[in-house]
Structure 1
Amino acid sequence: MTIRANKFTPEVLLSAPRRSEGNPNSDGSKILYSTSTYSFEEHAKTSEIRVLDVKSGETSLISDSEGASEPQWLDDDTVLLLSEGKEATSVKVGPVKGFGNSYDAGTIKGSVGNVKLVSLDDGAYGIAVTGKATPSGDLYNEKEDKKPQTSGRLYNSLFVRHWDHWVTDNRNAIFLATLKKDGDKYKLSQLKNALKGSQLESPVEPFGGTDNFDISSHGLVFTAKDPDLNPATHTKTNIYTVTAKDFWSELSKGINEPFKVPIHGFEGASTRPTWDNEGKAIAFFSMRTDGYESDKNQVFIIPDWTNPGWVQHLWASEDGKGSWDRSPQSITWGANQEIYFTAEEAGRISLFASSSDFSKSTRTPKLIVKGGGISSAILLKDGSLFLSSSSLIENSLYSMLPASAFLEISANGGSYSLPLNDSAPGQDPATRATKYVSSNTRSGSTFGLSRDQIEEIWFPGANNKTYVHAWVFKPSNFKKGHKYPLAYFIHGGPQGAWEDSWSTRWNPAVFAEQGYVVVAPNPTGSTGYGQDFTDAIKGQWGGLPYQDLVKGFEYIKENLPYVDIERSVALGASYGGYMMNWIQGHDLGRQFKALVTHDGVFSMTAQMASEELYFPFHDIGGKLWENPEGWAQWDPSRFAGNWATPHLIIHSEKDYRLTMNEGLAAFNVLQVRGVPSQFLTFPDENHWVLKPENSLLWHETVLDWINEYAGLEKYTEWRAKNGAVRK
């Protein structure tokens, strides 16, 4: 780390090197990763691909070329990466030691990404990448695209724009090729569009990537939106296979038509298709309910790729909900039919294990590594697992769960005896089952942060029927007997959660280091506390969650003596922004000195301008004309006559999920009512503020706003006096 500062400031957060998930070689002795750093002095980002030698702890440069990305291992000593230029993408191959001697294995005339490789018996590799395909099925090349003479766009169906862009005729597709030795160098074959002529699109926008498809020696499995349903009103995606015994050797002859895997009774999104390590079986997730993007993922297995119509449902139950009350997020196949899942549980993303053998899978998965926020688990050749994770104080941790830490699944039905541990940085390595590999921030100490700043509380929620979990983040210079203003964080979603993981957008440590005690509750609708708790928000947007937040505020007032409740502020984005607007019109709003809404809902009827209409249709309980009372019941604009608390509104122009007019309307109400208020907008940002310079302005504006009303020094004034010293 090259950043030095008096305290953990927005500049430190945004300038800190951002390290990708680690990509280990077969024995985990070397770890490939990419890292990027932004300089506010140079107003520029630098990116590198590096390799970590685990034994020595030393790193070395693979490439710092502009456009280099997605490093992959061909073998333990050879690296492949993409190098994107202005008109084409090069596939480069070279030795991990001395990659400067790399060569071009092939050139792809267009922009591609999401590389996946599979080793084939003849020493060759199958390779998959994704990119935009034209209506004819060819890889789209922006330089060759003919520019129209008009700027007009004509549409005749829903989904005219998505997330932050207008929809065009070009669609995501998966392209396949082989890498074979030609002399002493690999050569890339011609790319084949595996989806050509199928009317299917994969990865699924806006967030689909390598998690939407997988390859093996026998072919391709992927997820795609159901082509017979409009994506604006449906979430249904299907699993498709494209397979053959000699799939890759026959690739030049053509690709079979995708086979749609039958998943009876499950009409929602099917995701995360993953081949096992032998290329025989496939695991994936599926949801029951169409139109509900936060339904529970349930686990399915295709035991034999030659019979993809044979699908087994693990941990099924008579009520259809599934006996494992967690919604897994990722799949990693192990040895001996073991299978690993990451899943949210009580504000953490943890690792669970089970057997994929249908006859032994009567018991639900067992917790084996307690997060932190585990983002990936990769199997090594000795059966160990390489983990990438983060926490509230650590932006990138690599660790290992050794094979020796496991006890075999017993033969009497799949019982486990596995080590539990908290993988968060700062824990004594001698007391945890995972083995430390590398911390990007020295367990947070580079930022001046420690686990001592973090606590957890549980308080009675709405009607005292459930308990609500919350994170508490204190300043690093916290002193007993002192009181600190409260920053009350409300998360988005609403089916989401504050987790023990790192963020560069809503990082509680930045606010705590201003002098706040940050309390981040996970009220009704939050994920990781059982599906019933998540589902309970339907038709209750301003109901049960609001009651939980009122109860939480009362709990803080009565039980956290170090909080100066009279100097409280509240902040939220997306659904959290909706809740800020809702709170503003209700009694809880009068308890805060200031509020901050980022990209929140002002009027429920304006949700008809959203691109994904299935979302309000599900959560509110029907279409606008079918349930007008439900749409009106939780509409913040109905209570605009009560708005009185100073309020900062932030809304960006490329947010097509919640249109910018929502922010303007809220700001206009505040101004007309004479309520102190500000409006911040970015013409080039979407639902999130991602560009470093914009993000810095976001932090400056937010911190100055709340600090003034909480009785703290404005951040920009503190910085003018002290500055952040960087080397």
Structure 2
Amino acid sequence: MTLKAIKFTPKVMLEAPRRSPAVPSPDGLKALFTVSTYDFEEHKKTSEIRVLDIETAQSKVLVQNLGANEPNWIGNDEFIYFKSAEKGKTVLVVDSVSNPGGDSQQEVITIDGVLSNLKTKKFPSGKIALACSALAKPDGRLANPEAEPKPHSSAKIYSSLFVRHWDTWLTENRNSIWYSALEKCDGKYSLVSGGFYNALAGTDLSSPVPPFGGTGDFDICHKGLVFVAKDPKLDPAIYTKTDLYFVPITGFTEPKLPPPKIIETPGLEGYTQSPVFSHCGRKVAFTRMRSKQYESDKPRILLLRDIEDIGPAEEFFTTEDGEGGWDFRPESILWSADDSTLYTTAEHHARTLVWELPADPAHAKELPTEVKTVEGSVGDLRLLSDSSKKLFITSTSLIDNSCYSVVDPSHGTVSVVSSGSRQGKTFGLNRSSCGDIWFKGAGGYPVHALVLRPSNFDKNKKYPLAFLIHGGPQGAWLDGWSTRWNPAIFAEQGYVVVTPNPTGSTGYGMALQDGITGDWGGRPYNDLVACFEYIADNLTYVDTNRAVALGASYGGYMINWIQGHPLGRKFKALVCHDGVFSTLNQWSTEELFFPIHDFHGTIYDNRAAYEEWDPAQHVHEWATPQLIIHSELDYRLPITEGLSPFNILQAKGIPSRLLMFPDENHWVIKPENSLVWHREVLNWINKYSGVDESTFVDRRKADL
């Protein structure tokens, strides 16, 4: 008997096991991954570290502990991981895949702080280099806020910009990278130096870069450490500039390091990301943006040829105008086993794909070629083994929450190893429900949208439209899984879901993406109008007279903009999650480079640009029922951006509802809160679209 969802509901989605990307063993026979679940009956989360047999696709539990995380191989049988302990401490644990929890399990050391983002590198001597991240005090010592004495006053005092970020008020502590070496003697592991050293001590640098920086912000090899850090000479609230640095570390045991060396990238001074050492340890590939005030600028792939003779990095696909010859946005980078080829991920038409190119800019005469992968979007790619020509890929899709596959780029073959949902069957979802449409945008250019139909779709029936608008604004709806905005949740309620990627969207070339700058309510809005009209004229199975529209972040902005314009009268109900009510309030955010770029300057130098696309200027036209969702820890868009439109809706007598979370940020992440979010959203749109309440069912057991 196998669990199958009779109906894919929010509860089914939120209780489904969530798998991390899988990490293959050095011999390519096994893969480590974590699984977390949440039980709404017991209101409890569980977490496991598991190992997957790549040949048989069978997995087994290695560690069952809520605090266990960051599993890494240190051999073909042994692995290492962090385990959270009381009072903010972290335990470094070594264990065996063949005998987990047995005599070989060892708690190597307990560290007085929260360690994360563990990376390992085994040297020919058998010694294992370790690097991770943790908070550091201003003097360079490890910080443990949980163990520090609590002050008698709650006052926070600042005298410079960037007082808070994402969902946290900043303190004097900063992220730093810590290193050590693990050695085995008489069957027992120990840290050679007895602890971890701060690689950035005595500098003004901090890495990984908050709020989303992690293992992708640094890499290690036998020659040392490369890492990404903000330029300390520029205000982080005003500028995006992050640089790449190298620190030589010969044994990962020396307590004091030479000053980091900056890697020059002439003509490029924006975000630096994804540094990766070649296997020989001499070269580094990474990406960098050009603009120092545009967080969504196009990354370019660069190569540092020799880490021991540092010169300027070389850019791939350069052009005389500086725009670059490849109009895609490369993200993660992987070296082939022989260091001759680079693999990178990049969006293309609502999918994140893998691309292949020579590892030397001088040899990269042609643009990268696509590597065949499973349907959907790639989230992680690795070599199957240390010497393999094959890739091990973690991906998701609109119907599948986790898929591990093996790809052979040289032969164009793909083999699915394991799917967390049996490629959607566990959820009652299938690929035939997915589709695409293309339509003419505001300027006659092609615009793309994904379409998801109910699993019991009948082409002879009409279904109300769920019109989803993405955030960013430089972002896109992807053929990928989400537990926050999952199109299948709406489709299984009985909607045809359309997720347009209008002007501002990534994955369709920089001209379409950059077209939103200074034009928030212009071309993007007109593209959405064109999409709605295309649906009404061409999708005979969609009832646009019962349409609803929903959006978050910039999508929430667009909901408020639509509310004050003619398209707003086409919908029976609207949902705005953490949206912008007034562009004049954009300077209450934390990353000020965002409005400076998107509105062509500061509010005091170019106020007219902020006023032109201000939804609050059109509240006299508001008339459609609207649900407002906002959270108090959203420091990107403060809670008043939700309270203001709700107050106006209520004062005008327009049916409206406010959902507020005091303990969530820009996203609703906690399972219990997420279940309430889905209940409120679905109840709201179903009420106005006329969807039958009988569509609400919970998970049941059934034979497949």
Deviation of residue 310 (structure 1)?
Answer: 3.5
Amino acid aligned to 2:616: S
Amino acid aligned to 2:399: I
2:545 to 540, 543, 566: 566
Deviation of residue 144 (structure 1)?
Answer: 3.2
- SS of the aligned residue for 1:100 comes to coil
Does the CA-based 8 Å contact 1:129-1:175 persist in structure 2?
yes
Scaled by the length of structure 2, what TM-score is found? Answer: 0.97
1:376 to 357, 368, 380: 380
1:213 matched to 2:188? The reply is no
1:440 to 417, 420, 424: 420
1:450 matched to 2:442? The reply is no
Does the CA-based 8 Å contact 1:3-1:16 persist in structure 2?
no
Amino acid aligned to 1:461: G
Amino acid aligned to 1:357: D
The aligned counterpart of 2:93 is: 92
1:222 matched to 2:201? The reply is no
Deviation of residue 724 (structure 1)?
Answer: 3.4
1:191 matched to 2:196? The reply is yes
- SS of the aligned residue for 1:532 comes to helix
1:654 matched to 2:633? The reply is yes
User: Deviations along 1:46-93, whole A, 9 cap, x unmatched?
Assistant: 111111112222211110023111111111111111111013211111
Does the CA-based 8 Å contact 1:459-1:555 persist in structure 2?
yes
The aligned counterpart of 2:69 is: 69
1:268-279 matched pairs, under 5 angstroms: 268-279=270-281
Distance 2:692 2:39 in 1: 25
1:521 matched to 2:500? The reply is yes
Distance 1:252 1:229 in 2: 31
Distance 1:478 1:121 in 2: 58
Distance 1:599 1:358 in 2: 43
1:125 matched to 2:128? The reply is yes
The aligned counterpart of 2:301 is: 299
- SS of the aligned residue for 1:128 comes to strand
The aligned counterpart of 1:347 is: 350
Distance 2:436 2:531 in 1: 13
Does the CA-based 8 Å contact 1:241-1:308 persist in structure 2?
no
The aligned counterpart of 1:26 is: 26
Distance 1:723 1:351 in 2: 37
Does the CA-based 8 Å contact 2:5-2:426 persist in structure 1?
no
Deviation of residue 436 (structure 1)?
Answer: 1.3
The aligned counterpart of 2:458 is: 479
Distance 2:417 2:369 in 1: 24
* Structure of greater relative contact order (alpha carbons < 8 Å, 6+ residues apart): 2
- SS of the aligned residue for 2:254 comes to helix
- SS of the aligned residue for 2:683 comes to helix
Distance 1:314 1:265 in 2: 13
User: Deviations along 1:531-552, whole A, 9 cap, x unmatched?
Assistant: 1111111011000000000000
The aligned counterpart of 2:17 is: 17
Deviation of residue 615 (structure 1)?
Answer: 0.3
The aligned counterpart of 1:412 is: none
- SS of the aligned residue for 2:209 comes to coil
Deviation of residue 29 (structure 1)?
Answer: 1.3
Consecutive unaligned residues in structure 2, runs of 5 or more: none
Number of residue pairs aligned between Structure 1 and Structure 2 = 693
User: Deviations along 1:345-368, whole A, 9 cap, x unmatched?
Assistant: 000000000111232112221111
User: Deviations along 1:468-527, whole A, 9 cap, x unmatched?
Assistant: 000000000101210000000000001000001000000000000000000000000100
Distance 2:503 2:606 in 1: 22
The aligned counterpart of 1:263 is: 265
- SS of the aligned residue for 1:588 comes to helix
- SS of the aligned residue for 1:98 comes to coil
The aligned counterpart of 1:146 is: 149
- SS of the aligned residue for 1:649 comes to strand
Distance 1:660 1:310 in 2: 45
Deviation of residue 107 (structure 1)?
Answer: 2.1
1:608-627 matched pairs, under 5 angstroms: 608-627=587-606
2:324 to 308, 318, 322: 322
Does the CA-based 8 Å contact 2:599-2:609 persist in structure 1?
yes
Distance 2:150 2:699 in 1: 46
Distance 1:129 1:485 in 2: 49
Deviation of residue 726 (structure 1)?
Answer: 6.3
* Aligned-CA RMSD value: 1.3
Deviation of residue 200 (structure 1)?
Answer: 0.6
Does the CA-based 8 Å contact 1:3-1:15 persist in structure 2?
no
Distance 1:182 1:580 in 2: 63
Distance 1:298 1:2 in 2: 46
User: Deviations along 1:523-580, whole A, 9 cap, x unmatched?
Assistant: 0010000111111110110000000000000000000000011000000000000000
Deviation of residue 184 (structure 1)?
Answer: 1.3
- SS of the aligned residue for 2:171 comes to coil
User: Deviations along 1:309-350, whole A, 9 cap, x unmatched?
Assistant: 241111111111110110101000002410000000000000
- SS of the aligned residue for 1:534 comes to helix
- SS of the aligned residue for 1:75 comes to coil
The aligned counterpart of 1:428 is: none
Amino acid aligned to 2:183: K
User: Deviations along 1:190-225, whole A, 9 cap, x unmatched?
Assistant: 211001111111000000000000000000000001
The aligned counterpart of 1:56 is: 56
Percent identical residues: 49
The aligned counterpart of 1:393 is: 399
- SS of the aligned residue for 1:434 comes to strand
Deviation of residue 14 (structure 1)?
Answer: 0.4
Amino acid aligned to 2:90: T
Amino acid aligned to 1:260: I
- SS of the aligned residue for 2:493 comes to coil
The aligned counterpart of 1:288 is: 290
Does the CA-based 8 Å contact 2:435-2:451 persist in structure 1?
yes
- SS of the aligned residue for 2:521 comes to coil
The aligned counterpart of 1:427 is: none
Consecutive unaligned residues in structure 1, runs of 5 or more: 408-418, 420-432
Amino acid aligned to 1:724: R
Amino acid aligned to 2:397: S
1:460 matched to 2:437? The reply is no
Amino acid aligned to 1:77: D
